[in-house]
Structure 1
Amino acid sequence: MTGRQEPYYVDYDADFGLSGLTEAFTLSPAPENTGAALGLVMAKLDAYDHECPVGSVDHLSADERSILGYDISHDEWGYADELREDVRRLVESPLADEAIRAVWRAAAGGVWDPAAHGMSARDWLRRIDETCAARPPRKIPGRRPAPSSWWGAWRPAADEVRDDVVAEIRSCREQSTGPLPSPGPLPSPDTLSALEEVAARVHPDLGFRLFLRALKVHSVRIEKARYDRFQVLGQRFGHPAALIDFGLDVAWPPIDTARRDATWDFGFSHLAGQAHQDWCANREELRKAAEGDGIGQTPGSAAAVLLEDALRLLRSALPDAAVTALWAGASDRPGSTDGRDWLRLIADVCRERLREAAPAYTLVVAPARTELADTVLREVRETAPAVVDKVISPHWHPVPATDVMDALEHVVTRIDPDLGFRLFLRVLNALSVRLTQERYDRYEAIGERFGYGEYHVSDVDHLIEAG
Structure 2
Amino acid sequence: MQLDFGLTALGEKFHMEWRYDGPNPRDVVRHWGEFVGHDEAGREDLRRLDEDVRLLLASPLSDDEIHALWRVAAMFYPAYPVNGQEPPRGRVWLAEIAAELRPFVEESADGAPVAGVIPDAERSAVIALAGRLTPRAELPLEPLPASTVIAAVERCATLVSAALAFRFLLRAYSAYNSPVPATSWAAFEELNSSFGYGEFMLATIEYLRAE
The TM-score normalised by the length of structure 1 is 0.38
Q: Residue 268 of structure 1 contacts residue 309 of structure 1 at CA under 8 Å; is this kept in 2?
A: yes
* Distance in structure 1 (CA, Å) of the matches to 2:74 and 2:60: 21
Partner of 1:317: 60
The amino acid that maps onto 2:17 is D
1:375 paired residue among 125, 132, 135: 125
1:433 Cα deviation (Å)? Answer: 0.6
The amino acid that maps onto 2:91 is R
Partner of 2:160: 415
* Distance in structure 2 (CA, Å) of the matches to 1:367 and 1:399: 27
* Distance in structure 2 (CA, Å) of the matches to 1:311 and 1:328: 18
Q: Residue 157 of structure 2 contacts residue 165 of structure 2 at CA under 8 Å; is this kept in 1?
A: yes
1:353 Cα deviation (Å)? Answer: 1.4
The amino acid that maps onto 1:278 is E
- Give the total of aligned pairs: 195
1:402 Cα deviation (Å)? Answer: 1.5
Q: Residue 115 of structure 2 contacts residue 160 of structure 2 at CA under 8 Å; is this kept in 1?
A: no
1:288 Cα deviation (Å)? Answer: 4.3
Partner of 2:90: 339
Partner of 2:43: 300
* Distance in structure 2 (CA, Å) of the matches to 1:274 and 1:367: 26
Q: Residue 390 of structure 1 contacts residue 401 of structure 1 at CA under 8 Å; is this kept in 2?
A: no
The amino acid that maps onto 2:8 is S
1:273 Cα deviation (Å)? Answer: 2.7
Q: Residue 329 of structure 1 contacts residue 401 of structure 1 at CA under 8 Å; is this kept in 2?
A: no
1:364-384 CA-to-partner distances (Å, cap 9, x unmatched) read 51433512212211111222x
Query: Is 1:275 aligned to 2:14, yes or no?
Result: yes
The amino acid that maps onto 1:286 is V
* Distance in structure 2 (CA, Å) of the matches to 1:362 and 1:422: 27
Partner of 2:104: 353
The amino acid that maps onto 2:132 is E
- Aligned ranges 1:209-248 → 2 under 5 Å: none
Q: Residue 137 of structure 2 contacts residue 175 of structure 2 at CA under 8 Å; is this kept in 1?
A: no
- Aligned ranges 1:41-440 → 2 under 5 Å: 262-280=1-19, 282-290=25-33, 298-333=41-76, 335=79, 336-354=87-105, 359=106, 362=109, 364=111, 365-368=113-116, 370-371=118-119, 372-383=122-133, 386-387=134-135, 391-393=138-140, 396-440=141-185
The amino acid that maps onto 2:156 is V
* Distance in structure 2 (CA, Å) of the matches to 1:410 and 1:314: 14
Q: Residue 320 of structure 1 contacts residue 340 of structure 1 at CA under 8 Å; is this kept in 2?
A: yes
The amino acid that maps onto 1:458 is A
* Distance in structure 2 (CA, Å) of the matches to 1:337 and 1:415: 22
1:443 paired residue among 182, 188, 192: 188
Q: Residue 369 of structure 1 contacts residue 417 of structure 1 at CA under 8 Å; is this kept in 2?
A: no
1:360 Cα deviation (Å)? Answer: 7.7
1:457 Cα deviation (Å)? Answer: 1.3
Partner of 1:212: none
* Distance in structure 1 (CA, Å) of the matches to 2:9 and 2:110: 19
Q: Residue 290 of structure 1 contacts residue 302 of structure 1 at CA under 8 Å; is this kept in 2?
A: no
Structure 2 residue matching 1:344: 3-state secondary structure = helix
1:361 Cα deviation (Å)? Answer: 5.6
Return 5+ residue gaps in structure 2 as ranges: 80-86
Change (3 A) 1:299 1:333: closer
The amino acid that maps onto 1:320 is D
Structure 2 residue matching 1:409: 3-state secondary structure = helix
Q: Residue 137 of structure 2 contacts residue 177 of structure 2 at CA under 8 Å; is this kept in 1?
A: no
* Distance in structure 2 (CA, Å) of the matches to 1:326 and 1:299: 24
* Distance in structure 2 (CA, Å) of the matches to 1:347 and 1:279: 19
RMSD across aligned positions (CA): 2.6
1:317 Cα deviation (Å)? Answer: 2.0
The amino acid that maps onto 1:431 is Y
The TM-score normalised by the length of structure 2 is 0.80
Change (3 A) 1:350 1:408: same
The amino acid that maps onto 2:187 is R
Structure 1 residue matching 2:18: 3-state secondary structure = coil
Change (3 A) 1:427 1:417: same
Partner of 1:106: none
Structure 2 residue matching 1:353: 3-state secondary structure = coil
Structure 1 residue matching 2:52: 3-state secondary structure = helix
Change (3 A) 1:274 1:374: same
The amino acid that maps onto 2:76 is R
* Distance in structure 2 (CA, Å) of the matches to 1:304 and 1:431: 29
Change (3 A) 1:338 1:370: same
Counting aligned pairs with the same residue, the percent is 26
Change (3 A) 1:361 1:312: closer
1:40-77 CA-to-partner distances (Å, cap 9, x unmatched) read xxxxxxxxxxxxxxxxxxxxxxxxxxxxxxxxxxxxxx
Partner of 1:17: none
* Distance in structure 2 (CA, Å) of the matches to 1:304 and 1:342: 17
Query: Is 1:453 aligned to 2:198, yes or no?
Result: yes
